[in-house]
Amino acid sequence: MAEVLIKIKDGIKDYVTDEVVTKVLRGVSFEIRAGEFLAITGPSGSGKSTLMHVIGFLDRLTEGIYEFEGKNVAEFSDDELASLRNKKVGFVFQTFNLLPKTSVLENVKLPLVYAGISAKEMDEKAKEAIKAVGLFHRLNYLSNQLSGGEKQRVAIARALVNQPAVIFADEPTGNLDSKSGTQIMEILEKLNDEGKTVILVTHEQDTADHAKRIIRIRDGQIIGDSIVDHRRSVKDGELRK
């Protein structure tokens, strides 16, 4: 059995605004093993994006324990968390978050700026990631010259370029037409088949059905955690065991 990559026990997240406490996560507990393809799903306001921000080192728990690769994240400084985000995690967002009027190659190279490697090696790693998402023919195109689906593929290449331990995809098909969304899910499936841990955050059941396991969250609590017996697969165009 694969090692436990992420473990959260009794996770609580509160936000305080003008002395008003908003409880977002209410004692969530779960484990994610290396190589899983997991979907976190629930309605808007359920806490799923906050949960992704916590496990992606963009935010911290108010109470509870979060362990990543067996280490207590609460003991890491902000600088150490930033380093973990850069080296261990790749993010794919609904809004792409690309630099406009900047080439595909330069966008994908961004996470390597602080990697302490040569310009030549940066180019090689970025080109390899761009090939992996089938966009090498757009290498020198500016991001604002691309379609929505192509922009999301650039975002996936950027997430891949540091060979992270886990890829977080937050509503990755939300701004795309059905054909482009299918292409993005095909890439995420392929990455998981190659051994990458993929964590998908979505409110769309059709998208969640591509995962191998689904955690359902409502009002900040986990209401379901199940293995998907019949996955929806782009590879064969139908549900599969």
Q: For residue 117, tell me if it sits in a domain.
A: yes
Contact 4, 31 (CB under 8 A): yes
Question: Are 99 and 46 within 8 A, CB to CB?
Answer: no
Task: Please give the average per-residue pLDDT across 201-209, as a whole number.
Answer: 89
Assigned domain for 155 exists: yes
Q: How many domains does the chain have?
A: 1
Q: What is the pLDDT of residue 237?
A: 54
pLDDT at 123: 95
pLDDT of residue 241 exceeding 50: no
Query: Does 195 map to a domain?
Result: yes
Q: What is the rounded distance in angstroms from the CA atom of residue 71 to the CA atom of residue 5? A: 10
Mean of the pLDDT values across residues 177-184? Answer: 90
Q: Rounded distance, CA 13 to CA 25, Å?
A: 5
Domain that residue 146 falls in: 36-50+86-240
**Has residue 126 got a pLDDT over 70?**
yes
Q: What is the total residue count of the chain?
A: 241
- The whole-angstrom separation of Cα 233 and Cα 157 is 21
Q: Give the count of beta carbons closer than 10 Å to the beta carbon of residue 117.
A: 12
The stretch 29-46 carries a mean pLDDT of 95
Q: What is the pLDDT of residue 239?
A: 43
Least-confidence region, from 109-118, 123-132, 211-220: 109-118
In a domain, 134, yes or no: yes
Query: Tell me, what CATH number does 173's domain have?
Result: 3.40.50.300
Closest among 51, 43, 48, 41 to 215, alpha carbons compared: 41
pLDDT at 234: 67
20 lies in some domain: no
Contact assessment for residue 8 and residue 74, using Cβ atoms and an 8 Å cutoff = no
The answer to whether residue 186 is domain-embedded is: yes
The predicted structure's pLDDT at residue 236: 56
pLDDT tops 60 at residue 240: no
Q: Is the pLDDT of residue 56 over 90?
A: yes
Is 233 contained in some domain? Answer: yes
| Partners of 215 in beta bridges | 40, 225
pLDDT, tens digit (0-9, with 9 covering 90-100), for 136-169: 999 999 999 999 999 999 999 999 999 898 999 9
Give a yes or no: residue 132 inside a domain. yes
Whether 161 and 125 have beta carbons less than 8 Å apart is answered as: yes
